[in-house]
Structure 1
């Protein structure tokens, strides 16, 4: 498989972020009338729900989609990782508050700027009872470098020169250049460890409904009924007593229809689920069957500028469109007001270890782009873009797709541009993220982009010149220099000071148009409790903490 094909496959999986993120924000509500004002809902973040009273024999959960794959190399979406996080473990553990602590690596060292050394935990066994070894770690990590695998996480490993066993329980990763982001990514799918023997035995069937997986987490994957469900069973040989599963078994059901999911929760047919359609929150809160909780999130809903050769290539037109869009109205209609308008492409939640000065520089004093049609029209006229057309590509995926595409088109038309909404199939929409030819003729498309590590550089690294996820081929030498400088800095506070400057550049240059951010939602029925509401459910074993109410 060529490098080009490998990269395309990686970003095809990334497109699922946009699809699933859309479902997280809104699923099936109708836009409000122009003259209606949606009252802001009352909600607050919850770090941890009540502790369980004890264990529970089993509980059921609902997911909006069947996993694309449970092979950690391709687990790049909500539906994949919310299952895998309970079954497989990484070298480091990404906690619900987005801090990193030791995982399958009980410790790590950074002896030189170019090397990371991981000490592998003793006393850990895979679900088949075999012990975890350094050889398993080398085999698992090396797959991300194999072009025949085509890992969705190749970008994490692209500067890796070697992965070697350097001791009985020691693995050393040597980089081609200093890279702080590599170790931060070891708390997610990029750091998952699988049995080398299982990888060799299962081959192409690894991670699918036939081959399953053999990992070290608190639950074992015992069944995958294609199109229906997966079943997780408590692994009694689990090494970490603090995260021993409180449920003997968990059934995760796949329900692609949002109404069916909501009805299953309202009726008590299932005990819980992540990413509640926002128009159903009030229904579920009034159902008497459980409670909706709001937790930490790292996703920002944005419009990606995918063609800088057309009208949006002029910064003044991008600024004008930001000023013409009623982003608060979009939030109110698409997400029922659960969230807030933002001018940044990252949430404060990922700036872990940042200095106070960096947080002030990164978020305070950003250009607000207040709603101002007169000023926006003036910018369009100055750019000589009046009467030019932009194409907004969307798909019948969720209500927010419709609201945002219609809102952006109306804003463009209100300032003298022509706007066309091009509706494509969900699969064709996915191709926008993986195939440059699919983006031809598209000026804007929507994403809700979450970060998988506690550092905003994960976002800004993809906007450097030439990066595959830099969909509009935006280029700013000062931005590139800042991001490259920050990547080489190990200290998170010092790194954040540089990253803040990069964030301010994107706020000014608008390679993507930030719209709003919102909380991660979860519903817990009246039988269960114990979960920490957080987008870290993608990598943290959330189901292990759920027990009897």
Structure 2
């Protein structure tokens, strides 16, 4: 069991569509909040014509922290990705390439050895060393820090400098997933001297950060904005920033944020309110783009002692939900319904046959109310009550919770919707007591590495993020066996089996997946609208149109 704040805390990142407008929909039948939106995926926008003095960017919230140990949400990471760097780099197409580690070696199943790049400096001008890497990584093991990324490090037994520019990580068990996570905030490197100097103030508005990225943290006006400045001594010439500075304005009111975009007051923003897609698409001051995602919107089954403990009832509830209608109402129809918990974008270097198995050789839970009622009758749970937790975080939450309640009622269950504050909702992901009496709650769970096994690892017996305490021995054995396989193609064969088991047993109910959205004003271009913006220095690629 993980005893630190878990990876799951960041699911609020997945939820963090707090940027979206809250609106109600009919409990009996979700209604689209907008007319159908035309959309297509974009790999990247046109290259910049040149440099630009300043770019203004709207973000839906102020970061919780820029301390990489706690940077686990959209608001945090979209800024941090431009300031701090990891050992590996997660690219917009979700492949990994060398970052602050110019190379790595895997001499045995339990060991990863990183060669640290020479010629890199922190923003204060001091050189990057292997000692900085060791200090940065060891923080995730320190109970006093309470890293949100502890799950990545839970099997690490030692992190040591083993050469002038070499760091060796030793695991207690074989682990393919550790290295894959080094492209996320789990692999960020900070100056050891800065960590020691700033102490408890590190990463906040007064302590700041001192990293190696293409931008440095220039100013943090608490409650207002963060300004980044181009770092002229940045090591990677291919990502030399076009902008001299980027100002992030905290706009918690989604209407104000949309109006600022539509008027040209700000140049861009990630994660647009779906209710504003059509409005912003018709704007004459910029364009809406949709890109790669790794997130799936799902209902977490958090109580297997009640009626949802019977897999037939879980299957029935999913079959009773009009997920196409929910997608229309929650996201303007942008996206697609899914029966599995991963997107094909994270199956990087997988065996094509395994991908086919994972996505096609699974049960498709078509909308079938009669069949759903029959399953509930067979399970003998008619009239039993379920509680669905929601919060005024976004229209998505309102739509999904009411649609789930309506579906439950339609198949003979009694449904109760309980609304709590966003803060109390966040506690569902970190505090088991907060989930007491709760049967279902919504999440949009994204993956931070190019491997679907990241998703299924958290559903093993006893894992902190296995919120309902679901347990399946075949599933556990399959996932544990896959984790020990280094070759991604071979590993994907076993992961496909895990996806099939989860599709059959439904520990979480997969609903839909929606692409990442971004608005670019007419002044700027050069962006890849991928969810990799959480870890990739995307602002460095933006320049003048």
The TM tier, using the shorter chain, reads: over 0.9
Residues 1:422 and 2:434 aligned together: no
- In the TM superposition, 1:200-279 aligns within 5 A as 200-279=196-275
Give per-residue Cα distances to partners, 1:61-109, cap 9 Å, x unaligned.
0001100100000001100000000000000000000000000000011
Give me the whole-angstrom Cα distance separating, in 2, the residues matched to 1:261 and 1:41.
20
Equivalent position of 1:153 in the other structure: 149
- In the TM superposition, 1:467-546 aligns within 5 A as 467-546=463-542
What is the DSSP-based 3-state SS (H/G/I as helix, E as strand, rest coil) of the residue aligned with 2:429? coil
Residues 1:27 and 2:21 aligned together: yes
Equivalent position of 2:105 in the other structure: 109
Give me the whole-angstrom Cα distance separating, in 2, the residues matched to 1:36 and 1:274.
25
Equivalent position of 2:375 in the other structure: 379
Q: Which shifted more, 28-37 or 287-296? A: 28-37
Give per-residue Cα distances to partners, 1:178-225, cap 9 Å, x unaligned.
100000000000000000000000000000000000000000001111
Closer, same or farther in 2 for the Cα pair 1:206/1:281, shift >3 Å? same
- In the TM superposition, 1:225-374 aligns within 5 A as 225-374=221-370
Give per-residue Cα distances to partners, 1:333-364, cap 9 Å, x unaligned.
01110000000100000000001110110000
Closer, same or farther in 2 for the Cα pair 1:494/1:12, shift >3 Å? closer
What is the DSSP-based 3-state SS (H/G/I as helix, E as strand, rest coil) of the residue aligned with 2:123? coil
How many positions carry a matched residue from both structures?
543
Closer, same or farther in 2 for the Cα pair 1:35/1:201, shift >3 Å? closer
Equivalent position of 1:192 in the other structure: 188
Equivalent position of 2:10 in the other structure: 14
Give me the whole-angstrom Cα distance separating, in 2, the residues matched to 1:31 and 1:518.
19
Equivalent position of 1:63 in the other structure: 59
What is the DSSP-based 3-state SS (H/G/I as helix, E as strand, rest coil) of the residue aligned with 1:89? coil
Does the aligned pair in 1 maintain the 2:31–2:328 contact within 8 Å?
no
Residues 1:435 and 2:448 aligned together: no
Residue 511 of structure 1 deviates from its aligned partner by: 0.1
Residue 31 of structure 1 deviates from its aligned partner by: 3.4
- In the TM superposition, 1:380-459 aligns within 5 A as 380-459=376-455
Give me the whole-angstrom Cα distance separating, in 2, the residues matched to 1:341 and 1:23.
22
Does the aligned pair in 2 maintain the 1:19–1:447 contact within 8 Å?
yes
Residue 10 of structure 1 deviates from its aligned partner by: 3.3
Residues 1:182 and 2:196 aligned together: no
Residue 42 of structure 1 deviates from its aligned partner by: 1.9
Give me the whole-angstrom Cα distance separating, in 2, the residues matched to 1:153 and 1:144.
7
Closer, same or farther in 2 for the Cα pair 1:512/1:484, shift >3 Å? same
What is the DSSP-based 3-state SS (H/G/I as helix, E as strand, rest coil) of the residue aligned with 2:500? helix
Give me the whole-angstrom Cα distance separating, in 1, the residues matched to 2:11 and 2:343.
20
Give per-residue Cα distances to partners, 1:85-141, cap 9 Å, x unaligned.
000000000000000000000001111111100000000000000000000000000
Give per-residue Cα distances to partners, 1:516-536, cap 9 Å, x unaligned.
001000100010000111000
Does the aligned pair in 2 maintain the 1:18–1:446 contact within 8 Å?
no
Does the aligned pair in 1 maintain the 2:22–2:393 contact within 8 Å?
no
Give RMSD over aligned pairs.
Answer: 1.4
Does the aligned pair in 2 maintain the 1:30–1:333 contact within 8 Å?
no
Does the aligned pair in 1 maintain the 2:340–2:510 contact within 8 Å?
yes
Residue 40 of structure 1 deviates from its aligned partner by: 4.1
Does the aligned pair in 2 maintain the 1:17–1:447 contact within 8 Å?
no
What is the DSSP-based 3-state SS (H/G/I as helix, E as strand, rest coil) of the residue aligned with 2:348? coil
Choose which of 107, 117, 123 in structure 2 pairs with 1:121: 117
